[in-house]
A = this chain, B = another copy of it.
Amino acid sequence: MLSDIEIAQRSTMLPIVEIAEKINLIEDDLELYGKYKAKINLKRINQLAGQKKPAGKLVLVTSINPTPAGEGKTTVSVGLADALNYLEQSTILALREPSLGPTMGMKGGAAGGGYAQVMPMEDINMHFTGDMHALTAANNALSAFIDNHLYQGNGCQINPATITWKRALDLNDRALRNIVVGLGGRFNGVPREDGFDITVASEMMAILCLATDIDDLKNRLSHIVIGETYDRQMVTVADLKVQGALALLLKDAIKPNLVQTLYHTPALVHGGPFANIAHGCNSVLATQTAMKLADYTVTEAGFGADLGAEKFLDIKVPQLEKAPDVVVIVATIRALKMHGGVVKTELAHENIEALKKGFANLKKHIENMQNYGLPVVVAINEFSSDTEKEETCLKEMIEALGVPVALTSVWEKGPVGGIELAKAVIETAEKQSSDFVPLYDMKKRTIQEKVTTIVTDIYGGSGVQFSKKAKKQMQTFAERGWDHLPICMAKTQYSLSDDPTQLGRPTGFDVTIREFVPKLGAGFIVALTGQVLTMPGLPKKPAALQMDITEDGEIKGLF
């Protein structure tokens, strides 16, 4: 089998204006970035938002708790969209933008894989249309304004020790996690502790992805809390009066990006927040636009359904004003066997017992999605090591729950490998009606109640331990009127619990909330369950060592 980049290089893209035509966009609706990338302008976006035409069906792709065995959620999303188009359903794919940091670090892109890829993958995985860089610039401009405020002694007296706004770069760089800035004497700023997050973990990214228009963007930016004054009053971006400048820096980044899959399915690839410290979905604007332009929109949430889908449903859906019509949960036999206790090196061996045990993880995610009132389809993403007996066993267990299941092999076969899944999705969308019930009433429930509901109902835990600090914060936040906001859980993606080693379907556990972080710009309150890494590091041998570009522009080693 060819590598991802080889497959991509051997395929032919259509000019993006031709892709746009398929979904009734004309060249004037686009801002071209080369021949194969475009942004959709806000005029057209706003016009679509104002149309009375009902939105198309929304398919949310999520997965079991991820394991080192790999689930291929993005690949399945791409392949499903291709297969839906193959079956002559007008379909748009709405995905997140990959981050450059992991691209330089690990082998493996984030634009799908094999014969289910989004193109041009070398651009999407690098600078793309500059959204990440614009976010980085806006994020760090705010930091510069804060430090300039300290240095110049402007207006309110910010206490340097209370500044929570961190700098950001779209790179994996552990040496920037904890730094001291402002050294070098009185002409070089005020010394203080600081750190860099990877851009996708920044509140700036979450804001861009949840904003519904420029005014909403500016409003969210103005509410960002950056720290406190010496008399413990909170300081926001509005106090620094730079929300206009920050919005100006994001004026192009807010526009959804149009690209295509290997099989010319239109793809809106826009926004890419982390799914722990942030909500882990592509932008509201892109998803809304896709639903106005196509009969089916296939989108994806980060990590497993306990993190990504829960946040999609409880944080994004209220902005989107539309719940999914079908939820596709991706699982692999290999990953379920890991959830059943098999180590990575033993995955090639048939192991029905482990599969049955690990199935508990998938079952819990199915139940969770059904409890939201959403129709579920399970996609088993095939691997060559899967045995027929394992496949039959897994299908039977899923069908016993009354849930449609489909084998997919889009990585190897492209759209043809996704027809079974696409048919199951269409049938489910047409027969079952989505009857969405939010997990909690955002406005009426307290922070404590909301966190507890997520832990008991979604994670299957017994209860929640709040640290002394967290308790005090809940009181303060209530006094400040912040308890109407949804909760964004920062938890390990590897387990339903807050302990990454507890695979399968752990029970009887408590989740400990160490601390809350108010993200008033994004409009949610992050609940930290443990140490959350917001700046990854590079591995011993970064993928960058293999990368190259030749004189005639041929790219090597990207994946």
* A residues whose Cβ falls under 8 Å from a Cβ of B: 31-35, 42, 100, 104, 126-127, 130, 133-134, 136-137, 140-141, 143-145, 147-148, 150-152, 154, 169-184, 187-190, 213-215, 218, 241-242, 244-245, 247-249, 251-252, 537-538, 540, 542, 544-551, 553, 555-558
Contacts and interface: CB of A to CB of B under 8 A. Distances in A.
A247 to B, nearest CB: 5
Q: Which 9 A-B pairs have the closest CB atoms?
A: A244-B548, A133-B133, A178-B184, A175-B189, A245-B544, A147-B175, A144-B173, A245-B547, A178-B183
Given A133-B137, A169-B140, A176-B181, A547 B31 contact: no
Contacts of A544: 141, 145, 242, 244-245
Contacts of A547: 244-245, 248
Contacts of A33: 31-34
A130 B214 CA distance: 22
A183 to B, nearest CB: 4
Given A133-B127, A134-B127, A169-B140, A548 B184 contact: no
A212 to B, nearest CB: 11
Contact of A545 (B241, B546, B549): B241
A171 B244 contact: no
Contacts of A551: 213-215
Contacts of A183: 177-180
Copies of this protein chain in the complex = 2
A33 to B, nearest CB: 6
A537 B181 CA distance: 14
A183 B178 CA distance: 5
Contacts of A136: 133, 136
Chain B CB within 10 Å, residue with most, of A174, A247, A550, A557: A174
A200 B150 CA distance: 25
Given A178-B183, A244-B548, 9 more contacts: A32-B32, A126-B251, A127-B249, A133-B137, A137-B171, A174-B187, A241-B545, A245-B545, A247-B548
A384 to B, nearest CB: 31
B244 A144 contact: no
Given A180-B183, A248-B126, A542 B148 contact: yes
A244 B148 contact: no
19 contacts: A42-B553, A104-B144, A130-B130, A137-B170, A137-B171, A144-B175, A145-B544, A147-B174, A148-B542, A152-B540, A154-B540, A175-B189, A178-B184, A178-B188, A214-B553, A244-B548, A244-B549, A248-B547, A251-B555
A258 to B, nearest CB: 13
Contacts of A152: 540
A131 to B, nearest CB: 10
Contacts of A134: 127, 133
Contacts of A147: 173-175
Given A31-B35, A34-B32, A188-B174, A556 B244 contact: yes
Contact of A177 (B179, B184, B553): B184
